[in-house]
Amino acid sequence: MYNFKSWIKVQHFDNTKFMFIEKNINNSDKKGFIEIICGSMFSGKTEELIRRLKRAKIAKQRVEIFKPAVDIRYDENDVVSHDEHSIKSTPVASASEILFYSGDADVIGIDEAQFFDQELVDVCNKLANSGIRVIVAGLDMDYLGNPFGPIPSLLATAEYVTKVHAICMECGGLAQHSYRTVTDDKLVLLGETDRYEPLCRSCFQKKMKNETKK
Ligand SMILES: [Zn+2]
């Protein structure tokens, strides 16, 4: 006879064994790896990046944080999340500058990674290969729902991937899209967070359909 109760028991696994939280925060054996934190706007990517970097600092790790120089909202030298937790960062014009400025860091954080070009993939791999823990945060999709810049390739080469979600402004479900509420064909509208709203798949599809009808 089919035993439903024992089936439930088998399915009830310990989530912490499957979900990546923080591997090897004490990087004393110097094995490098890449972690990606991706998702839509307002999904808490930067907050999660800052949380991991602050914990690495508490563990006495040498931490360096970079962001693309194009991202100049809020403060020139800080990685700032929307809820104003911040941490000092170095703006760089290109991904290769990260190699130049990485110094003797144990941990390197990179925010708004979608604004770098494909070179970032090579840079992150070089850093990880040399024993550095690399934590990358970025948008995985642009406002049209297409994979964004170097993020897809980074997802493929990273050891650990965390996808975070915002809340859909239409239905209250989990959102993965950054829907642009204004008409503009530019891929990047910087510092214009009031021009986007997070939407789930079905609400995003509905709004995109309505747009094409207009
Ligand atoms: Zn929705």
Q: Which domains does the chain have, with CATH numbers?
A: 29-165 (3.40.50.300)
What's the gap in Å between 199 CA and the centre of ligand 1? 5
Q: Which tops the pLDDT comparison, 182 or 41?
A: 41
Q: Which residue numbers are catalytic?
A: 112
Please, what is the end-to-end C-alpha distance for the chain in angstroms? 58
What's the gap in Å between 154 CA and the centre of ligand 1? 28
What's the gap in Å between 193 CA and the centre of ligand 1? 19
What's the gap in Å between 203 CA and the centre of ligand 1? 4
pLDDT tens for 20-45 read: 556 555 655 678 999 999 999 999 99
CA dist list (Å): 7 to 1, 12, 92: 12, 9, 53
pLDDT tens for 188-203 read: 665 567 789 999 999 9
pTM over 0.85: no
3-state helix, strand, coil in the chain (%, to 5): 30, 25, 45
Residue 87, classed as helix, strand or coil, is strand
Q: Which of 89, 140, 99, 143 lies closest to 119, judged by CA?
A: 99
